[in-house]
Each structure stands twice: as structure tokens, then as C-alpha cells.
Chains A and B, each alone.
Chain A
Amino acid sequence: MITSKGSRVAFKNARLIDPASGLDAKGGLLVENGRIADVGPRLFNDAEPHDPEVVDCRGLVLAPGLIDCRVFTGEPGAEHRESLESASAAAAAGGVTSMIVMPNTDPVIDEPSLVDFILRRAAATAKVRVLPCAALTKGLLGETMTEIGLLKEAGAIAFSDGDRSVANARVLRRALAYAATFDALVLSHAEDPELVKGASATEGEFATRLGLPAGPAIAEAMMVERDIRLVELTGARLHFAQISTGAALDTIAAAKARGLPITCGVAAHHLTLNELDVGAYYTFRKVRPPLRSEADRAAMAEGVASGVIDVIVSSHEPQGADTKRQPFASAAAGTVGLETLLPAALTLLHDGRASLSQVLAALTATPARIFGLPAGRLAKGAPADLVLLDEDEPFVVDAEKLSSRARNTAFDGRKFSGRAQKTYVGGECVFERSR
């Protein structure tokens, strides 16, 4: 439950990074009534804060809390895998203060009353902000559009069929046109469903050696191209939830250059892993879309650096032993990722591909802009959603120590540098790393 304290919290000796304004300087920040009351390089320089609660940041980075634009939970319907509460604990531990949850639940979030259910459950149980994405088509069947107007009024932040593509171009065309009527944002999962039917890997030498059923990487670019044409026709705002290939990236770059209202994201695992990481049929690295070639992975890193890729997401997708301890082709796809989102994204910094501010922009200011959120910036009046992070702290991911209920991480045993130390939502500390 998010409760905004009436009291004041003062942060001193911080390295303030606010990608929205370009601020990167030593300074302080004052929280009052759950909002940022003051922030700046000179704050608390001359005089010690006299507030009841003072946080000495000891030179660590204080940044806006992260916004994860693609999170699957099991609530409602599969709470044994992940509830809003358990996902929010993982989010807090990862420095994520807002998570946009996908409608792929049981029942599907395609009714105003179910959006209301998510918001109420989140308010009662979750430590971080939960923003529901409603289904674009009823039952995620790709046949008839949902009540976009009523769902938006109920609090849906965007519309998507989650990990499903709308195969029928006519249905998508009408859904986009209707969404544009309400200036609603549509999230697309770009993968031609027929081309990747039954596939569990990317077509290529590696999948052939392993004998895995595979789908061609172009299944993504094809859908991206189709969707862009439909955006051009309808004027809708479209966000590709996660792309994974250089071909899709090039197409999106060209569409952006033409001024179309298109944005895109990449999953942390597509930035950091390639198809070879599947190794000996390691099902925790079975994801959708599947891990790609090294050239595509490198293109994703370059896409974030160049700004064509707007946001980095976890695509947090909880699975249980029942669905993952299977032969690779039969195993469910998905990896949890809320706690590894920041460390995986920081590899771009440590590889010298992007600045810290650039990496954080893709996790804070840019998603806030795309989804129209008040959070994601260090500005007076903004919600006091904050992360205190050490971008250099080395650690090894241990699946057993994750805060999420599901432990199916693609990064078990992976060495990363940098993670969240403290997380604040509405000025309230929701996570503090134990020493």
C-alpha cells in the first residue's frame, strides 16, 4: 500500500541525475507530503537539513524511480506464480517505482470493472505504483476491439494484447483508428503469429544444431512494417513494446524520421543475451521473442545509445517449475526481470555504449513521456518516486535470493555491476538493501 507521509524527508550528499532536465550534479532533495518539494545542487550545501528524517546519500546516485513498461503478473488467476504484491516487492528491490502491468491474466483485463479491480488490489497490496494496460481486443482474441473509451476512463494507461500480435490487419486498423479517437496509446507485440507458430528459437545455425523448432527473425520486422503503415493510415500513437532485431530497428528509425507517432522498447535480456546463451537447452533463457543473433543484440545496444529505442523494459514474466522444467520446446517462455532491469541496463554504461543519464532516461523520463505519467523526473511537485543507486557495485545474481515469488530468471549466476540501494514511492521507503 502506498501511503504518502505528511512528514519531510531530506536527501543530502547525492549525485542528482534527472534525465528529463539533463541535471547531473551533486546536491540535495527535499520531500514533503509525498512530493518533491525542492531539488538542486545548492540544497543543503550551506546548512544541514533540520528535518526529522535525513538520508545521507554518501555520493550515490539519486534518480527518479524506474518505470517498467512491460510487466506480467499472475493476478488475477495465477497468484501462485506472482501476485501484484509479490511483483511489487521485486520491483521495489529493483528500484522500479511504477510498473505497467499487461492484461494477459485470467480473466483478461478487457472490462472496465477489471481495470478497477487491478487498481484496487494494487492500492491495497502493492508497494509500488501499478498502472494497468487493458486489452486491445476482447479476450485477446484479435477479433473485436475493447471498450477503449470506458477502459481509459476506468484508469487503463494503454491498450495492448500483451504478448500477442493482432494478426488481422483490418481488426488492428479499426482498433487503432478507434484508439486515436480517444488519443489512447496502443502497445504492439510485433511478431507474425503464423511464421513463429511453435517456434522456440530464432532460425539459424544454432537452432539447427540444437534441432529446435525455430521461427525467422524477419517475423518481427514484417509486423513492425505492417503496424507502421496502419499508424500512417489511422494517426494512432503506437509503441512497440519490445523489439529484438536490427531490421525492426531500422524500420522504426525510418518511420520516426518521417515524423510518425511511433516509439519502441527493448527487453533487458535482448540487450544482454544472445541465442548462444540458451546453451544446453537452458529453459530459463527461453523468451518471446526468442534470443537473437549477436548482431541483433549489438544492434539493440546501439539502438538505445542512438535514442531510436526509447525505453528498456524487463518483460517480467513469472513462470513456475511446472512450466519451465520441461524440454526446451515444451517449456513456457519468459523470464522474471524486475530486479535485474537496472543492472542489465547498466551494462550499456560499463560497456561504454551509453552515459548513465542516457541509460536512466530509457527507464524514467522517456517512459513517463510516452505514457503521460507525472513521475519519472526530479522536479518540484513531481511524485517523490526515487531510487538511490550505486552504479558500480558488483554482485552476482542469485535466483534463490530474488524478491519475486517466481524465480525463473534468465540471469542466474550472471555478474553485474550496479543496483538499487534504496527505493522510495511517494516519499515512503519501500526497499532498503541490507548490508
Chain B
Amino acid sequence: MTSPDAILPSKHLLGIDGLSPANITALLDLADTYVGQGRGTDKKTALLQGRTLINLFFEASTRTQSSFELAGKRLGADVMNMSVKTSSVSKGETLLDTASTLNAMRPDILVVRHQDAGAAELLSRKLDCSVINAGDGAHEHPTQALLDALTIRRHRGNLEGLVVAICGDVLHSRVARSNLRLLSMMGARVRLVAPRTLLPCDADRFGVEIYTDMKQGLAGVDIVMMLRLQLERMAGAFVPSTREYFRFYGLDREKLAYAKPGALVMHPGPMNRGVEIASDIADDVLVSLISEQVEMGVAIRMAILDALARGLAREETESRGMA
């Protein structure tokens, strides 16, 4: 029951899958207008006044959770953070029981991060409110891909035709999956660069180019997206050691020199300096967009909350009309 002028195709944002290029362009356009709001002295509006946003994070998160909190507060919503450590989930409650408890509190928007793929989808079917996926297992992290797209677009004007290398632990990365879906959809050429132990099976079926040699993979690219390598995956299970990983897959000046002159570097954070990225690159404001990604994260989340709230308002008007 979405109207033709809606920015998002449904009341939930569960993944990049399900969005169209038009949805994405509209969201990015809307987000552009919120960048200025964040930079002004009066950062707050009353667009979401009276609305309740719940942040439900089953995995530790600093930037995504605070980004949603800030986005909600800047739009005037009441924001509640539910940390799993202090909730009854850690006492053995199932996800669906948690869902019905939350539902009874009548939130308008639920932001959820969970270690299992499909968790956000499951909640969206059981709750009356809008659900935003803030990361589910190794499946999707759509708001990260959208903020990355916003960051790139503001620097390059357009996503179409860009060559983007996504490097590192693609196997376990929801960021990589959402980004490759979004970037491919918007006409960018995506490369995946990783040792074979960190490449998912049949990755070549996604219309991307696969490289196991970083220098070849970076040759001529416009954007280098580094992924975080989880510490527990370094000690021999997927790669033999930190020093070997940095030697062959860590982004340093020597490897970056293979990219197109002026190529930009991104990282979803938090970084492991000296593992996947050298400090002098991470801190180089001329090539690193890492801080800017965080800023764009707030803007894109304001845009998403705005778009979902508009949908909720429409839905409420329609149901009142029917009554």
C-alpha cells in the first residue's frame, strides 16, 4: 500500500535487495539536504516529534547505534537504546518474545542489529512498527551501503561507471554484500579483492570481478573500500597472521599507487591499523573519506527515518480514512 511518490518501497528497510535505483537516488537526494542541517548551529527539527525509535542492538556497536540515536534526536523523536547485555535476552528470552514485548510498547521505528542473518526480516513480520536493519549476520547492512554511496556521490557526482574495489574479509562481511548490491545496481563496476579463504563461494556469480592479488585488484580503481578483519579470524583460521595479512592485503602506499591517481579510500570502521590499513593512509585527509563516512552516516539515517515516518503518517491517515 505504498503511494507512487514514496521514497521507500515498503515500511521497512531490511536490505538493499528490494530497493530500486530510483529509491536509492531519492534517498541520497534527501540525505544531501540533511548534511547542511547537521553542520548548522540549530541541528534539531520537529519532524519526528511524538515518534518513538528503539535501538535494539544484539551486537556491540559504537558508530551505527550512536548514529541512529543522533539522527532520531535531531529529527525530534524519542530514542531508547536497548542494550542486550542488560535486557532479558541475555536471560534466555527468544527473539520473538523480545519482539512481542517491544511491540506492546508501541514504538514507531525499531532499529535492529543481530548476529544472525534474517533476524531483521523475522522481526519485521512480527512487529507493527517500521524495522530498519542495522546489520544481520553476514547478510546485509543497508544503511552502511547507503552512507557509502552518499559519500562517494558527493565526491564523484555519480556512481555510474566508477570502478570500486572492496578489499578484505568479504566472506564474513554484510557491508560488502550490501555495497556490492547497491554499487552494481547503480552502474558501478565492483571488484572483490581477498585471499581465497575470505571470498564467499560463487562470489563470481554476482557480476563482480574477483582478484586474489591486491595490486592487480587495485589497478585503475576509483574507490578502495577496505573491510575490517575480525581479530579472531587472523590467528590461522582464515589467514595465518597479522603480519602476513598486512604484507599482502593491508592497504599501504605501495599498493594504493596501483589505483587511479586521486583514488579515494573508505573504511566502515572500526579500523585495525597495521592490519588492513596503514595509519598514514587512514589519516591522510586527501585520500581518506573515513571521517566523512561517519558524518554521512547521520545524514543518510535522518533521510531514512524521514522517509519511513512519511510512510507511517500516510498509513495512519489512510487507516483513519477507512474508519
A145 at the interface (CB under 8 A from B): yes
Given A177-B197, A180-B196, A181-B195: A149 touches B248 (CB 8 Å cut-off): yes
Which one of B1-9, B40-48, B238-246, B258-266 contacts A?
B238-246
The B contact surface, by secondary structure, is loop
Given A174-B197, A177-B196, A234-B196: A148 touches B240 (CB 8 Å cut-off): yes
Complex interface residues of chain B between 168 and 220 (CB less than 8 A to chain A) = 195-197, 212
Which chain B residue lies CB-closest to A110? B240
B residues less than 8 Å from A181 (CB atoms): 195-197, 212
Interface size on B, residues (CB 8 A): 15
What are the interface flags for A108-148 relative to B under an 8 Å C-beta threshold, 1 for contact and 0 otherwise?
Answer: 00000000000000000000000000000010000111111
B residues less than 8 Å from A177 (CB atoms): 195-197
What are the interface flags for A147-160 relative to B under an 8 Å C-beta threshold, 1 for contact and 0 otherwise?
Answer: 11110000000000
Complex Cα–Cα for A178 and B197 (A):
6
Q: A145–B236 contact, CB under 8 A?
A: yes
Complex Cα–Cα for A150 and B244 (A):
6
A residues less than 8 Å from B236 (CB atoms): 138, 143-145
Q: A147–B240 contact, CB under 8 A?
A: yes
Q: B195 CB to closest chain A CB, in angstroms?
A: 4
What are the interface flags for B139-156 relative to A under an 8 Å C-beta threshold, 1 for contact and 0 otherwise?
Answer: 000000000000000000
Question: Which of B195, B197, B237, B240 has the most A CB atoms < 10 Å from its CB?
Answer: B240
Complex Cα–Cα for A339 and B212 (A):
42
Q: B238–A174 contact, CB under 8 A?
A: yes
Question: Which of B196, B237, B241, B247 has the most A CB atoms < 10 Å from its CB?
Answer: B196
Complex Cα–Cα for A296 and B87 (A):
65
Q: B174 CB to closest chain A CB, in angstroms?
A: 21
B235 at the interface (CB under 8 A from A): yes
Complex Cα–Cα for A143 and B238 (A):
11
Complex Cα–Cα for A143 and B212 (A):
23
A residues less than 8 Å from B196 (CB atoms): 177-178, 180-181, 234-235
Q: A178–B243 contact, CB under 8 A?
A: no
Q: B179 CB to closest chain A CB, in angstroms?
A: 22
Which chain A residue lies CB-closest to B199? A177
A residues less than 8 Å from B239 (CB atoms): 178
B residues less than 8 Å from A144 (CB atoms): 235-237, 240
Complex interface residues of chain B between 231 and 290 (CB less than 8 A to chain A) = 235-241, 243-244, 247-248
A residues less than 8 Å from B241 (CB atoms): 147
Which chain B residue lies CB-closest to A180? B196
A residues less than 8 Å from B238 (CB atoms): 174, 178
Which chain B residue lies CB-closest to A143? B236
Q: A140 CB to closest chain B CB, in angstroms?
A: 13
A residues less than 8 Å from B212 (CB atoms): 180-181
Given A143-B236, A145-B240: A178 touches B195 (CB 8 Å cut-off): yes
What are the interface flags for A226-239 relative to B under an 8 Å C-beta threshold, 1 for contact and 0 otherwise?
Answer: 00000000110000
A residues less than 8 Å from B195 (CB atoms): 177-178, 181
B residues less than 8 Å from A147 (CB atoms): 240-241, 243-244
Complex interface residues of chain A between 164 and 213 (CB less than 8 A to chain B) = 174, 177-178, 180-181
Complex Cα–Cα for A11 and B71 (A):
84
Q: A226 CB to closest chain B CB, in angstroms?
A: 19
Q: A124 CB to closest chain B CB, in angstroms?
A: 28
B residues less than 8 Å from A174 (CB atoms): 197, 237-238
B residues less than 8 Å from A149 (CB atoms): 240, 244, 247-248
B residues less than 8 Å from A148 (CB atoms): 240, 244
What are the interface flags for B31-74 relative to A under an 8 Å C-beta threshold, 1 for contact and 0 otherwise?
Answer: 00000000000000000000000000000000000000000000
Complex Cα–Cα for A234 and B237 (A):
15
Given contacts A145-B240, A146-B240, 12 further A-B contacts (CB under 8 A): A138-B240, A144-B235, A148-B244, A149-B240, A149-B247, A174-B238, A177-B195, A178-B240, A180-B212, A181-B195, A181-B196, A181-B212
| 9 A-B residue pairs with CB within 8 Å | A138-B240, A147-B241, A149-B240, A150-B243, A174-B197, A174-B238, A178-B238, A180-B196, A181-B197
Listed from nearest, the 8 A-B pairs whose CB atoms lie closest are A144-B236, A177-B196, A147-B244, A181-B195, A147-B240, A181-B212, A181-B196, A177-B197
